[in-house]
Chain A
Amino acid sequence: MGVVLDGLVLGLQLALLSVGVVFVYGLGGVLNLAHGQVAVAGGLVAALLLQAKVNPVLGGLGGVLAAGLVALVLDRTLLQPAYRRRGEERLLLALILTLGTSFALDGFFTFRYPNVALSLRLPAPSVEVAGITVRTASLAVGALSLATFGLLLVFLKGTRLGKAIRCIIQNEAGAWLCGVDVERARTVTLFLSGLLAGVAALGQGFFSYLGPDMGPEFTILALIVAVVGGVRSLTGTFLASLLLGMVNAALSYWVGTYLTWIALLAVAVATLLVRPEGLLAYWP
């Protein structure tokens, strides 16, 4: 029972990470390979703020905001040349640029902050809920991510900008013809993806800890989920996150980390071979 709950919460975590990747890909035609590093940036800022004895809630918010800002800067600077191209050219240019950025950030974090880690401790390690012992961290992360997704949903369904973003994902040219400011929507999306990544970093901090070298791991996890869920489908990504979260929790519980990684990667490769549009892409 504990494994199932852990899996669900891990799935929500994965969703926080991968929804950002899917958003940016669907909207900008850019696969952001530096996504995990954005998350780590947020986590490190939060950790530094906490070290400086800032109020924990403010520190967490600061971290999330910092991740959003890193993504925003990425969008306004490095990705601009990519946006000027189209289709395959844009994908390739952005792929290499974000790959380079991810290495640059990785190198910077591990060089400058080798010993900084974000670790959020709650007052009580575990509580009894309906007869089973539950880690408070799981509850906190679950609540945090559900709240975040609630806000995201309200934004997407309720505001004009959110509607515009959904329009662009469906058809960029059509949205542009209807007067949607595509460039602004892209920037907002990257900022949002950064915020989501920042929240995921906090979640990781609750679970165990977040170190400066965890960027690649996050990026790869987000990629795997995005691939399995279908790189253009938000529902698919959400389902894939929950599924892979459960699989991940169950496998690491019973068989160990290496095999878990291999299994997750193999699922991603198999998805690409069997159904490149995503295993769960066209679900309602």
Chain B
Amino acid sequence: MSVPWSRQAAPVVAVAAVLAVLPLAAGDSPYQMRIATLMLVLACYAVAFNLLFGHTNQLFLCVGALASLGGYLSVILVRDLKLTSLAAIGLATVAAAATGGFLSYVSVRRGFGVLFVGIVTLAVSLIVHNLLLGLRDLTNGETGIVTRGLGVGLGDDPHRAYYVLLAVLVASLAGYRWLFGSRHGAALHALSEDEVSAELSGIDVTRYKVATAAGASALVGLVGALYADLNGFISPSVYAVGHVDIPVLVALLLGGMRTLLGPVVGAALFSVVDELVRPFGQLTVLAYGVLLVALFLLFRQGVVPVVQGLLARRAPAPRVSSPRTAAKEEVAGGTEAGR
């Protein structure tokens, strides 16, 4: 690509800078630091989900399950096998990557469409959830595990937790930027438009999808493990579909799929909304549902593409943009109805 790397890196640096000074605004309130950290966690999940769903059309409804794999494995390895925390987190990340890659491989090989991938991964999520509930000896069932002292100590220092998560987020954004500046990014664009054409022009679709799924799952597993540490406590419900997958889906749609900043902006907006409805208890679930429906119906582009469009109109400088066809509204093709 002809864009100089400094220009490519600019948005990532800007995000890093803004988020790095955010704790100053929060002052010393641990509560606000916690919300900010949880926002980073959500943003990381959303970056991964953007790669999975946005770019390779794999509707992985098992983000929470992969995160729980990372979280529980990292904790149990330290508790029962006396591994060092870092080694345990590393192993948990690898395990999540392997699981995600395997799910993706099977789905691609069996030729599953979006719907079937969604059902399979949802079923996997529920299996994992029930396993976590059922394997009481290992996971303590519904009661959960207190993780204090089993991790790298993120739970003790809110600022440390925040900056570690920020480092992970910025690294993943930089990786994303690098990916889409390289020829691999071009390949991903091609296969997200039309897999058959991509395959015919020599792109190994299976390899790209599986590799993307493995990479994204690694990120989810890592963040899940870090979350276990900073939260001080894990239970099956903190990783449940309703607590992870739905917020991730809403945040990504809110921010904008297939964009660099969409996941971050979406996570930030979602955190604000979530904080506003939190006092109403069960109404949060209702709010998630309504948001999901409204966003998907009325605002499928998301905030970031809309703002970019406005800015581009305001300042029509000769911008070099990636050859992305923005959210093409498909004119009903001759595809067969149903699967």
Contact = CB atoms under 8 A, between A and B. Distances in A.
Interface of A: 25-26, 29, 31, 78, 81, 84-93, 95-97, 99-108, 110-111, 114, 172, 220, 223-224, 227, 231-232, 256, 258-259, 261-262, 265-266, 268-269, 272-273, 276
A269 B286 contact: no
B120 interface: yes
B115 A92 contact: yes
Nearest to B126: A265
B120 A103 contact: no
B191 to A, nearest CB: 15
A268 B130 CA distance: 15
Interface string B98-137: 0000000010001011111011100110110011011000
Contacts of A231: 339
Contact of B289 (A91, A107, A114, A273): A107
30 contacts: A86-B332, A90-B337, A91-B339, A92-B114, A97-B293, A97-B296, A97-B297, A99-B246, A100-B296, A101-B293, A103-B242, A103-B289, A104-B285, A106-B289, A107-B282, A107-B284, A107-B288, A108-B286, A110-B285, A111-B281, A111-B285, A231-B339, A256-B134, A258-B130, A258-B134, A262-B127, A262-B131, A268-B119, A269-B123, A276-B112
Kindly list the 3 A-B residue pairs having the minimum CB-CB distance in the complex, ordered from nearest: A107-B286, A104-B289, A103-B289
Contacts of B332: 84-86, 89
Contacts of A101: 289, 293
- The A contact surface, by secondary structure, is helix
B290 interface: yes
Contacts of B291: 100
Interface of B: 59, 106, 110, 112-116, 118-120, 123-124, 126-127, 130-131, 133-134, 242, 246, 249, 280-293, 296-297, 330, 332-333, 335-339
Q: Which of A29, A87, A105, A268 has the most CB of B within 10 A?
A: A87
A26 B337 CA distance: 10
A29 B114 CA distance: 13
A89 B40 CA distance: 31
Contact of A273 (B106, B242, B285): B106
B297 A103 contact: no
Contacts of A89: 330, 332
- The B contact surface, by secondary structure, is helix
A240 to B, nearest CB: 15
Contacts of B288: 100, 103-104, 107
B293 A78 contact: yes
Contacts of B281: 111
A266 B127 contact: yes
Contacts of A276: 110, 112, 116
A96 B134 CA distance: 30
Nearest to B242: A103
A7 to B, nearest CB: 20
B292 A103 contact: yes
Contacts of A85: 330, 332
Nearest to B132: A258
Contacts of B292: 96, 99-100, 103
B306 to A, nearest CB: 19
Given A95-B115, A265-B130, 8 more contacts: A87-B336, A87-B338, A91-B115, A96-B292, A107-B283, A265-B123, A265-B126, A269-B124
